[in-house]
Amino acid sequence: MVTDNSDREKHRSQGRKYDFLIALAAQPNAGKTTLFNTLTGKTGYVGNWPGKTVERMEGEFVHHGKIFHVIDLPGIYSLSALTLEEFVSREFIVDERPHAIVVLLDAEALERSFYFLLQVLELMGKVIVAINKYDLAQSKGLHINTERLENELGVPVIAISALKKTGLGELLDRIVDVAEGRLGREEEFRIEYGPLEHYVNRIENILIEHNLFEKYPRRWVALRILEGDLYFMKEVEEKDSRAAKAIEDIIEEIKKVYKKDPVEIIILYRYKFVNDLLSRVIEKVRVSEKRFIEKLDSILLNPFSGPILSSLILLSMMSFAFIINTGFPLNYAFRSLGYEVIAEYIEENSLSSIISKIFSVIAEYFRSVAVSYNVQDWLVDLVVEGIIPGVGSVLTFLPLIFIVNVLMAILEDSGLMSRIAVSFDRLLKKVGLTGKTIFPLTLSLGCNVPGIMGTRILETDEERLSAIVLMPLIICQARLFVLLIMVSALFTGAIMQTFVIASIYIISVTLFLIFNKVITKRVFKQKEVPELIIELPSYHLPSFRVIRWISWERSKSFIIKAGTIIFLFSIILWALLYFGPSTTQNVEESYGALIAKTVTPALSIIDIDNWIIPFALIFGWIAKEIFITSIVIATGKISPIEAVASLTLTPLQSYALLVLVMFYSPCLAAFVTIFSETRSFKLTVFSVIVSLLIGFTASISVYWIGRILGYI
């Protein structure tokens, strides 16, 4: 199972040549992203594993004139195929046979780290062990005899600090040594499993006899099967039912003799091995005192103060992101206090306003240049009203997504994230979700797109898919913008306006929670409420170098993916508005307007017969803020508030329409993201249908309940 190291031919990855392929593996919270970033610097980029929704980081470094291509495996607790991340990781090791694997250990969680290391060593011997955060552990009185450890394991061991960049030179040297075959193990590492050995050998022999799993170390597969690995067992059943039967008999025999599941015995033996090993290589341990920051736990993990403080943290983070992006709610606060000048200053200097200003300047400049060169009218219109706003709408997404990515990375890196998940667990459990769902939910308040992507942290499929399908019910910032304009135009009085805004958010969260309970149970057939199991890592000061890098890379990969589609659709929208059956260039006679007019009767149920509203609803699907833009275009007014006010709706109609606009469908970007995350067209359409049904039902109910109660 050893790759040929004399192979000097250059390998390829996406057209790039490299000398050695290196994998980076670690458990969560070990500091792997920091090490990856330190090693690869600016060459690192974030993508996806082919055909999977698992994030994949790749990069390169050069050492002693050799190019090393680094693949960062996802942070996983083990190499069993319980999660997609684990499956992806082990298949990579087996299929791609990297020249070396760097296993990063967390010096602050040594036992768990070693457990993981052993699993990698059992699969492949070409390993370099890097013990991260060794300086922190040392300050707590821990000393590891790395030389002895090297002898026991047969692979190089280096103490490093990825953050402080210590020990890295030696790490690089050892990577070269292992990749070129001077160091490291030729064979996989072998742990004795006591009474199970005899059974392991029997299964191994069955596999060899039936020529199963030739690309894997057979002993490793035998152990995996004993550990209840469904993936391998299914393979055996499909390929050879006699072999499957023989293996099942062996497992039954173990269960009968030892009154235990073999997985329990295996994990027990592996941990026993770890304990013995550590007792030989750790030279002194002095119990350290709790750091002051750990006292934060008594507030954050308290069942009463925890949810309050957690809400405050998330709320202030989101307000911060909102204020930078649009000025809301700071502008409202200043305006209500009478400081109109400050409110305007905040609005004008918000990122979205600056970006839209830049784009209107570019558009005007292009128009003036084009006119002087006698460019045809339709072409100028296509660029000025189709392409430039299209690119603009993609780019206005970027700052918010970047800021939200930064804030989330800080939460994750500091150790706060898992504490917040714990404090929301009690509430979210009631609707079939675990506390971790609070993160995608919070992200969605900014934009549904990162929210939908953020569901990756959820453990079970039912939980994740249900959250994805219903995520569009959460009011994002684009809809907040629509909400604010409609409320200013259609309702009077500060109290009434505040009431309407608050009620929409309450309806949004309520709908999400109720329908989650229904959908997890009825659609995804969730048998039992998922249980939270999450590690609470010790608090850390986040590394801003790493956070800046990862947030930027994640934002970039979003813009490339979603941007192209949003861009395409904005050109289609422009064409629908520009062209029509008649030659007169009147919006009311464009194809877009004609389509809207055919669906207008559907809105008669809330007594609306103005074609502009379905017109705006149809185009608002591309991006929710286009709802307002469309009304502006169709009414011919200049100010958005005037345009909406000119629709002459009753207060009850206004409210019903508002409910409809807020919930009727995920926008195009969310739609695309739902598809790319679920890889299921069925689920994506299901999400749209659910939103449409919820939106219309809620709107109609509000209207008719209001009518019955005597409102107009």
Closest contact distance (angstroms) between CB of 506 and another protein is 24
Least distance to another protein, CB of residue 233, Å: 12
- Which residue type is seen at 664? Y
* CA–CA gap between residue 219 and residue 199 (Å, rounded): 11
* 705's tokens: 């309940």
Got the DSSP string for 484-516? Answer: HHHHHHH--SHHHHHHHHHHHHHHHHHHHHHHH
Compare residues 44 and 537 and give the one whose CB is closer to another protein.
537
Nearer to another protein, 90 or 174 (CB): 90
Rounded distance between C-alpha atoms, residue 310 and residue 64, angstroms: 48
Closest CB to another protein among residues 518, 534: 534
The backbone region for 76, taken as left when phi is positive above 0, alpha when psi lies in -120 to 50, beta otherwise, is beta
Q: How far is the CB of 297 from another protein (least distance, A)?
A: 8
CA 319 to chain centre: 21
**Cβ pair 484, 502 in contact under 8 A:** no
Based on CB atoms, which residue is closest to another protein, 301 or 457? 301
Q: At closest approach, how far in Å is the CB of 524 from another protein?
A: 16
CB of 106 to another protein, least distance (A): 9
CB nearer to another protein: pick between 169 and 195 = 195
Q: Which of 2/82 has CB closer to another protein?
A: 82
- Which parts of this chain interact with another protein (CB under 8 A)? 77-78, 80, 82, 108-112, 115, 227-228, 263-264, 267-268, 271, 301-303, 306, 418, 421-423, 425-426, 429, 434-435, 528-538
* Residue 90: CB atoms within 10 Å: 26
CA-based torsion, 129, 135, 139, 145: positive or negative: positive
Distance set, CA 277 to CA 111, 293, 589 (Å): 10, 32, 80
Nearer to another protein, 283 or 609 (CB): 283
Q: How far is the CB of 267 from another protein (least distance, A)?
A: 5
H helix intervals, 301-415: 305-326, 330-336, 340-348, 351-372, 377-381, 388-414
Q: Which helix or strand (DSSP H or E) is residue 19 part of?
A: none
> Length of the chain in residues, anyone?
712
The CB density around residue 679, as the number of other CB atoms within 10 Å, is 11
In the complex, least distance from residue 168 CB atom to another protein, rounded to whole angstroms = 26
Written as one string, the DSSP assignment of 282-314 is EEE--PPPPPGGGGHHHHHTSTTHHHHHHHHHH
Compute and round to an integer the Cα radius of gyration of the chain.
29
Nearer to another protein, 168 or 427 (CB): 427
60 vs 122 by CB, closer to another protein: 122
What are the structure tokens assigned to 562, written together?
């979603």
Cβ distance to another protein smaller for residue 207 or 433: 433
Q: Which residue has the tokens 């502009």?
A: 612
DSSP 8-class letter at 48: E
Q: How far is the CB of 528 from another protein (least distance, A)?
A: 7
* CA neighbor of 99 nearest in space, from 154, 39, 178: 178
Q: DSSP secondary-structure letter at 604?
A: G
Beta carbon of residue 341, minimum distance to another protein (angstroms, whole number): 47
Tokens at 299, concatenated: 């507030």
Minimum Å distance from CB 253 to another protein?
Answer: 19
CB-nearer residue toward another protein: 423 or 665: 423
CB of 422 to another protein, least distance (A): 5
Write the CA distances from 249 to 226, 242, 245, integer angstroms: 11, 11, 6
CB of 606 to another protein, least distance (A): 42
Residue 401 tokens, joined: 């997504």
Measured from the CB atom, the residue of 268 and 369 that comes closer to another protein is 268
Q: How far is the CB of 433 from another protein (least distance, A)?
A: 11
CA 337 to chain centre: 39
Query: What is the C-alpha to C-alpha distance for residues 419 and 536, in angstroms, rounded to an integer?
Result: 7
All residues at 6 or more sequence positions from 585 whose CB lies less than 8 Å from its CB, including other chains: 578
**399 closest CA partner among 456, 349, 333:** 349
Least distance CB 103 / another protein (angstroms)? 16
d(CA 504, CA 506): 5
Q: Are 440 and 467 in contact (CB under 8 A)?
A: yes
Min separation Cβ 624 and another protein, Å: 35
Instruction: Rank residues 287 and 709 by Cβ distance to another protein and give the closer one.
Output: 287
36 burial via Cβ count (<10 Å: 0-12, 13-18, 19+)? buried
- Kindly tell me which of 271 and 704 has the beta carbon lying closer to another protein: 271
127: nearest Cα among 93, 178, 59: 178
- With respect to another protein, which residue has the nearer C-beta, 421 or 658? 421
Tokens 């709107």 belong to which residue? 699
